[in-house]
Structures are given as C-alpha cells and as structure tokens.
Amino acid sequence: MLRVSLAQVDAVVGDLAGNADLVLRWCRHAADRGAHLVAFPEMVLTGYPAEDLVLRRSFIDASLRELAGLPARLAADGLADLAVVVGYLDRRPDALPRIGRPAGEPQNAVALLHGGQVVARYAKHHLPNYGVFDEYRYFVPGSSLPIVRLHGIDIAMTICEDLWQDGGPVKVATVANAGLLLCVNGSPYERSKDDTRLALAQRRAVEAGAPLAYVNLVGGQDELVFDGDSLVVDATGRLLARAPQFSEGLLTLDLECAPAWDDRVGTVPAGGGTDLAVVRMTVSSEPLPPPAGPISGGIADPLPEDAEIYSALVTATRDYARKNRFASVVLGLSGGIDSALVATIACDALGPQAVHVVGMPSRWSSDHSVSDAEELARRQGLAWVLQPIAPMVDAYSAQLDLHGLAAENLQARVRGTLLMAMSNESGHLVLTTGNKSELATGYSTLYGDSAGGFAPVKDVPKTLVWRLARWRNATAEARGEVAPIPSECISKPPSAELSPGQLDSDSLPPYDVLDQLLIDYIERDLGHDALRAAGHDAELVERVIRLVDAAEYKRRQYPPGPKISLRAFGRDRRLPITSRWREPAAPEVREPETLPEPTPT
C-alpha cells in the first residue's frame, strides 16, 4: 500500500525561488497526511510554459540550481523520507551547438527526490508540436525511462504528451512491469477536455496493467488556463480519486500497487523507430506497513459546462492581474451584454473593491445604457464613474472632417484613450470587452475598444456570452442573492451605439447563425465548399470569410485573453497578415476546349 499525494498547484513562470517555496510548503502538507510520495506538475519549478526563456543558458542554470538545492531544504525540514516528484527544466548532459536543435538542448524534465538527494531524472519523450504547443522549438527528447523502486513498488514517471501518444514511455513501462505509472502534466483547459483526459488515463492504465496517477497544473498563464482535474485510476481503469477543477489542493489516497519483481534493464523499442533505455534505481525494497487511518481521496464531480467555462475565465483574469502585479482593473461599462459579463468576471476574480467601471456615453448613447450600467455597478458594489465623451469627440471633430465609419470609430478611440489615461494615472489593468464573434469579423476598433491589457471574453462567441450571463444570474438567484447583471443588459438588442438607432443586426446576421459559421470556419478549418455542404448560406459564407480574413491585422494587435475553445485566436491560430490567399468558391464546370491541330514547321 502506497500513500500518494498529488499537489495540484499554481506556479508562476520565472519565479523559481517562489515556486521552490511552493513545492516545500505543499510537501509539508503531504507529510502531515502521511504520504510516502508527493508529485507536482510539469515544469513546476520554472512555471509552464516558459516559452523562449528555456533557450537562455541563465534560465536553465537557475532551474538546475533550484532543483539541486531542494533535497537539502526538504531534509532540513524533516522531509528526507518523503519521495518528491517535481517538474523542472534540464539540459542534455552532452549539450553542444547543433544545427536544427534548440540552443542549449533544453529538456522538459522531472526528478524524484529522496533522502537529501536527486535519485532519478527523466526527460519528456514525446514533444507536442500542434495547437498551442511548440515543444520541438524548445526541447530535445529524452532517451531513457527510469524505474524507481520505492517501498517495494516500481514507479515509472512520464510527462503529459507521453500519455497522449501511443507507444513511447507507456509502452516501455508496460514491458518493464512497472507497478505505478505517474504522469505529471501542464495540460491547458479546453471545453469538455476533462472527459477526454479521464478516458485517456483509463486506457493507458489498462494498457500498462498498473494504476495511473495524473497530476495537473492549475491557474492562468497569459492565454492559457489550467484547470487541474488531477485524478487516479486503478489497473482496470476504475476511477479512484479526482481533484476539483480550478482550485489548488492536495489529492491524497492509499493506492494498491503490485509489488516489484522484475529487475531487467536494457533498451526497449518505444515505437516510431525509437528506443528507450530502462534504468532501474532502488530507494527502498521493503514494503511499508499499511498507513494508519486509510485515506480514499474522494471523487470531485466535474463542473457543468457553463460553470466550467466561467470558472476558467475567472481563474485566467485573476491570475493575469495577480501575476503581473495589478491590484485593480478598469473597463468601460456600456450597459451592453459584453461589458456586463466582463465586469462580473472581474468582480468574481478580484473582488468589487478592485474593479473600476466607467460609463462613457456619446451623443448617440441611449438613456437606458447609462442607467443599466449604473445599476450593474450598484448591484455588484463596483467603483462607478460617469465620463461623457461628447465634448472630447466634438474637439476632435473640429480639427478633422470625418464622416461615416471614421466618425463612428472616433468615439471608440476617445473611450480607449480615456481608459488608458486612467490606467496610467492609477495603475489599473485595462480590460477589453470584445467577444470572439466581434474579433472574428473585425467589429472591433483598433486603438478604441481593442485598447487594453487583457481580454477576458476574447475566445467567447456572442451566443455564449449571453448564455454565461444567464447562468451567472441563475446561480446567484439559486443562492438567494440578487442577480449581478440587470436583465435589461441581457435582453436588449446588441448595439455599438455609434450612430443613430444603430443595431448589430443592421450589418451582421443573427448571432446564432453567425457563430456556427465562425466555429466551422475558424475551429474546424472548413473551406468554402465544405461550409456550403454543412448547410451555410452561400452568400453568407462568401461575406463572412471575407470579413474574417480581412481582420487578421486587427486581431494581431488585440490583447491576450484566455483560450477556452478548440482553436482560439492568438498562439492557437496563426495566419499571415499579408496574404492574397482567399478561400476559393467551387469552380465553374466548363466544356473542354477543342485544340487546333499542330502546324508542321
């Protein structure tokens, strides 16, 4: 019987000393629970993903120093007998400058610490290079799999993508008859990904014929948000324990593992034309007596979809502000649904005292826009300021002869200038309020409503904005609280209010129609003909593709925001700004030409 703790923690990229303190603090908690083994997520010492920092020699050196100092700190704290598995940044021991390899040959690695020393090291074998991952740019793969015997149980360590790919370390661990497969992860959140993770863990545990313990990061890092969802399954795939999403904590349970019996070493084919060397190490061969007071870990229910998405947005907003040392945020509150949801997310993330909202009515703003915004601020206890912009717009207009769209966008740019000035004066982080549907079609004004530091709903389509707002109100009312978002903000027809009587529907199709088309084009990468075959109107397909492609330069200048979808704008979807490629319509069918007979020469 092995008592295992999985430390689902929120590390900060680049704060190596702080992350080492974090590891030490949670090791104490694990020891207090009688754990024999505690595991931390992928690259927890450096934070993840560290991107181009890993290419700096100084950063790798700092990671190695922090790792080298941890065993002594654990021993000094009376934790020498606790086995600690910790992710860190390493380099190949024979690293030399090589063309086509990342500078310094960094490795995404994990180490097992025990008895005041580093007992074993393992470097990630499968390096993902799709979606948000660029690990072939940053790392070189490992070539061995350590099997560590702890209290008579053979433990194999793997890292994230090693579990997702067939073969590799899981296959080698199976051949080596490991009694426990331990996987440390930095797996970002996407909608419904928790179901995929559990099914994957179950499949790999059955393949290995051993229990599988999966520990994941939690917290926000720029455009990524990690939901934790750490779990343990037995050798049959049965779920034994699961941690809550989006919260730090320690998942501890007593785990039945097969006793060690295989001492073979050597090189094992790992699939894909690669081999991994099995390296065995022994910490202790004798099993421990059963721990006093059995611990089962508990199984947290996955969050319902709307609660899960909303929690991801709140977590990402809180961590972006906290980790970048912003104590407060500011945003324009228009009385519309997008700014209403962003203000509510910010309030839940940081508390009402840290959220400043500004009403900036123009000549064409309706009275209810101001009153709805003020009512939202009152309900949530936000700091409300009213700053009419008509005099400032008039001052600009006196200098410039602007008409049509240029005159409309001037209003948005005055608002952006106001918010950025307040940010400079008071140190607030400016939150932008544009949703994914607007960003996709270019309905965001550069240096206007796109001006800011973080974009909480950047990856949230308009229809989902409404859904989340209704969900948030419903949860408040179910607790006997006042709904945070006035119903008028949700029910009114959407409008930018930049011209008399303007509505989004004047120039865009209904959002339920538009959003499905955008999902098919952006997330599923369907081309013109495939979109028509999927049932979308041919004329609308032509128009929307044109809008999306033309707005790429705008999106490149938009602030970062949390990824929640299969494919988000930013690091997840990278297209050239300067490009003459346009999705072709179906070619016309023409009769073959009759060619003239060749003329002899």
Active site residue ranges: 42, 124, 160
Instruction: Give me the amino acid identity at 193.
Output: K
Contacts 24+ apart (CB under 8 A), 247-251: 247/8, 247/218, 248/8, 248/9, 248/10, 248/218, 248/219, 249/8, 250/5, 250/6, 250/7, 250/8, 250/26, 250/29, 250/30, 250/33, 250/38, 251/5, 251/6, 251/8, 251/215, 251/297, 251/298
Handedness of CA 359, 364, 369, 370 (dihedral sign): positive
Q: What is the 3-state secondary structure (H, E, C) of 518-571?
A: HHHHHHCCCCHHHHHHCCCCHHHHHHHHHHHHHCHHHHHCCCCCCCCCCCCCEC
Strand order in the sheet with 274-282: 239-242, 231-233, 212-216, 180-185, 153-159, 144-150, 274-282, 266-271
CB 400 within 8 A of CB 372: no
Transcribe 411-458 into DSSP letters.
Answer: HHHHHHHHHHHHHHHH-PEEBP---HHHHHHT-S-TTTTT-SSB-TTT
Give the position of tokens 């009213």.
Answer: 386
3-state secondary structure of 512: helix
The residues near 386 (Cβ < 8 Å, ≥ 6 apart) are 358, 359, 361, 370, 374
- 3-state SS, residue 247: coil
Per DSSP bridges, beta strands 83-91 and 37-39 are: parallel
Q: Which long-range contacts (CB under 8 A, 24 or more apart) does 586-593 make?
A: 586/528, 586/529, 586/532
One-letter amino acid for residue 41 of the chain: P
For 53-90, the DSSP string reads GGG-HHHHHHHHHHHHHHHHHHHHTT-TTSEEEEEEEE
Beta bridge mates, 118: 113
Both tokens of residue 152? 């008579």
Round to whole Å and give the CA distance between 358 and 385: 5
* Cβ pair 153, 159 in contact under 8 A: no
Residues 6+ apart with CB under 8 A from 590: none
HEC string of 102-169 equals CCCCEEEEEEEEECCEEEEEEECCCCCCCCCCCHHHHCCCCCEEEEEEECCEEEEEEECHHHHCCCCH
* Rounded Cα–Cα distance for residues 520 and 536 (Å): 10
Report the C-alpha gap between 438 and 494 in whole angstroms: 12
What amino acid occupies position 129?
A: N
Tokens of 244: 């809550």
DSSP state of 46: T
Collapse the DSSP code of 505 into the 3-class scheme (helix H, G, I; strand E, B; otherwise coil) and give the result: helix
